[in-house]
């Protein structure tokens, strides 16, 4: 029985964020193999964190820049360590390598933080993305973490291509793993066009691309409302700050709803999901949830990025604000167009997000690399170079902080 240690950036909140949902799908897959799984994190508990014990997963709170982690991991002796985002690999990766050198090191990127940050910088400056934006210090850190690990899980086909073509990362170090959907739980029946009302969107308000989308909807919504005066827009999401709740305006049909106990339920009630995402990375959980609940959507090229291949989008992809508004009005008003969009959802889920296919592929990748770990690591010379003592800045910084804190 494999022993798995997951080092989380935060406690999983599958009902709050796509990242939390993705993490839980991986943890549940490991448990399904009969493996012993422990989740550890330096993060503080939250109101919406999942009960891991009920999932058969033990948990442990760990400390940053503290030698107590060495004692902890030596006692646990994992066969595989999964780092949740590159910052956790920076902080704990060298300690794992020192105390459990044979443990397989896997990095779950969630999405490429450097790509999201680069696009955010370009968006704030109101200009196109440049090479200088992309080749940032954050990119150097994130790519270094990928190279130091044995396998990195990449959620978007676009990001797979970016890593291999632009950053020249060897494909053997990467594994494509989008969101895993349990097809058995796919709704057997869906609400009709007539049974659904209103537009909606959902997303954690702490996530910068989501908050920007809410602000952008303030510009978009009056244009939609002018043509559809009875329509309402419901905006859901965890952790709405006062600046978000202050935007609630029932008179104009602009409703800040906040936390949704069941994202699928509110998605199923809506006729159209709006996701005017102007920057970000990875793939968008809200748009996958819309497909699962067969709710057509209107989004941008960034929103749809990496989510489909040759399939046609179940709704519309528009970057220009006028085109976005026209597409939203048309999809909301035209039942035939809406039904055609709805029919595309199930095919996309089956083709690209089927957990019954994706789960075994991940386990096979883990087993193949584990069984040939010596050769795999010999072939990754750049990763070995980055772990050499002359490059171990994160290690020595952490040791300096630990020594300082002990005084």
pLDDT per residue as tens digits for the range 380-391: 999 999 987 655
Q: How many CB atoms lie within 10 A of CB 390?
A: 7
Residue 316, CB-side half-sphere exposure with 13 Å CA sphere: 21
CA 322 to each of CA 122, 222, 224: distance values in angstroms, whole numbers, following the listed order: 22, 12, 10
pLDDT at residue number 401: 86
Residue 397: enclosing H or E segment and its boundaries?
Answer: helix 393-405
pLDDT at residue number 15: 85
Exposed e or buried b for every residue in 134-163, given b needs 16+ CB within 10 A?
beeebbebbbbbbbbbbbbbbbbbbbbebb
pTM, full prediction: 0.93
Nearest in space to 147 (alpha carbons), one of 170, 122, 116: 170
- Tokens standing for 276? 């005017």
CA 26 to each of CA 84, 263, 296, 307: distance values in angstroms, whole numbers, following the listed order: 11, 20, 27, 19
pLDDT per residue as tens digits for the range 278-308: 999 999 999 999 999 999 999 999 999 999 9
Query: Tokens 């790509």 sit at which residue?
Result: 115
Sign of CA dihedral 374, 379, 381, 387: negative
> Tens of pLDDT along the chain (407 residues)?
899 999 999 999 998 888 999 999 999 999 999 999 999 999 999 988 999 999 999 999 999 999 999 999 999 999 999 999 999 999 999 999 999 999 999 999 999 999 999 999 999 999 999 999 999 999 999 999 999 999 999 999 999 999 999 999 999 999 999 999 998 877 778 899 999 999 999 999 999 999 999 999 999 999 999 999 999 999 999 899 999 999 999 999 999 999 998 899 999 999 999 999 999 999 999 999 999 999 999 999 999 999 998 789 999 999 999 999 999 999 999 999 999 999 999 999 999 999 999 999 999 999 999 999 999 999 999 999 998 765 567 777 888 888 888 77
Kindly report the three-state secondary structure assignment for every residue of 156-221. Answer: CHHHHHHHHHHCCCCHHHEEECCCCECHHHCCCCCCCCCCCCCEEEECCCCCHHHHHHHHHHHHHH
Query: Tokens 């559809």 sit at which residue?
Result: 228
pLDDT at residue number 406: 79
Q: What domains appear along the chain, each with residue ranges and CATH number? A: 3-180+355-405 (3.40.50.2000), 183-352 (3.40.50.2000)
Percent of the chain scoring above 70 in pLDDT:
99
CA gap 29, 37 in Å, rounded: 10
CA gap 361, 74 in Å, rounded: 30
CB 102 within 8 Å of CB 26:
no
CB 126 within 8 Å of CB 186:
no
pLDDT at residue number 36: 98
Exposed e or buried b for every residue in 36-46, given b needs 16+ CB within 10 A?
bbbbbbbeeee
CA gap 262, 256 in Å, rounded: 16
Query: Tokens 């793993």 sit at which residue?
Result: 177
Strand residues in 219-301 grouped as ranges (E): 233-236, 254-258, 272-275, 297-299
Q: How many CB atoms lie within 10 A of CB 55?
A: 14
Helices of type H across 48-164: 68-76, 86-99, 113-124, 131-134, 137-148, 157-161
pLDDT at residue number 81: 98
- The residues, ordered by sequence, that sit 6+ positions from 200 with a Cβ below 8 Å of its Cβ are 233, 234, 235, 236, 266, 267, 269, 270, 272, 273, 274
């Amino acid at each position: 029985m494999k022993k798995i240690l997951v080092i989380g950036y935060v406690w999983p909140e599958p009902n709050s964020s796509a990242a939390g949902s993705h993490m839980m799908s991986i943890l549940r897959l490991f448990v399904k193999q009969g493996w012993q799984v422990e989740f550890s994190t330096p993060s503080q508990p939250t109101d919406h964190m999942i009960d891991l014990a009920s999932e058969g997963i033990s948990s442990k709170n760990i400390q940053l820049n503290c030698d107590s982690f060495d004692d902890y991991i030596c006692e646990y002796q994992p066969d595989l360590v999964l780092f949740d985002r590159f910052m956790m690999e920076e902080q704990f990766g060298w300690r794992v390598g020192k105390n459990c050198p044979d443990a397989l090191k896997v990095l779950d990127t969630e999405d490429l933080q450097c790509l999201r940050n680069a696009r955010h910088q370009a968006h704030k400056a109101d200009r196109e993305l440049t090479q200088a934006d992309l080749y940032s210090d954050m990119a150097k850190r994130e790519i270094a973490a990928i190279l130091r690990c044995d396998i990195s899980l990449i959620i978007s086909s676009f990001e797979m291509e970016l890593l291999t073509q632009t950053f020249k990362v060897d494909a053997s170090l990467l594994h494509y793993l989008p969101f895993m959907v349990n097809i058995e739980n796919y709704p057997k029946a869906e609400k009709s066009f007539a049974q659904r009302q209103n537009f909606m969107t959902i997303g954690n308000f702490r996530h910068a691309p989501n908050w920007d989308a809410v602000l952008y909807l303030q510009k978009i919504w009056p244009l939609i409302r002018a043509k559809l005066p009875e329509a309402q827009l419901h905006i859901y999401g965890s952790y709405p700050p006062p600046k978000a709740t202050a935007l609630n305006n029932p008179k104009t049909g602009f409703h800040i709803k906040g936390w949704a106990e069941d994202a699928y339920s509110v998605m199923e009630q809506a006729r159209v999901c709006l996701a005017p995402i102007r920057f970000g990375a990875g793939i968008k959980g809200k748009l996958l949830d819309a497909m699962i609940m067969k709710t057509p959507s209107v989004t941008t090229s960034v929103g749809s990025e990496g989510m489909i291949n040759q399939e046609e989008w179940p709704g519309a992809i528009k970057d220009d604000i006028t085109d976005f508004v026209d597409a939203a009005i048309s999809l909301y008003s035209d039942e035939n167009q809406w039904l055609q969009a709805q029919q595309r959802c199930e095919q996309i889920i089956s083709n690209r997000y089927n957990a019954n296919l994706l789960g075994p592929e991940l386990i096979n990748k883990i087993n193949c690399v584990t069984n040939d770990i010596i050769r795999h690591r010999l072939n990754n010379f750049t990763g070995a170079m980055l772990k050499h003592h002359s490059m171990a800045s994160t290690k020595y910084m952490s040791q300096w902080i630990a020594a300082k804190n002990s005084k």
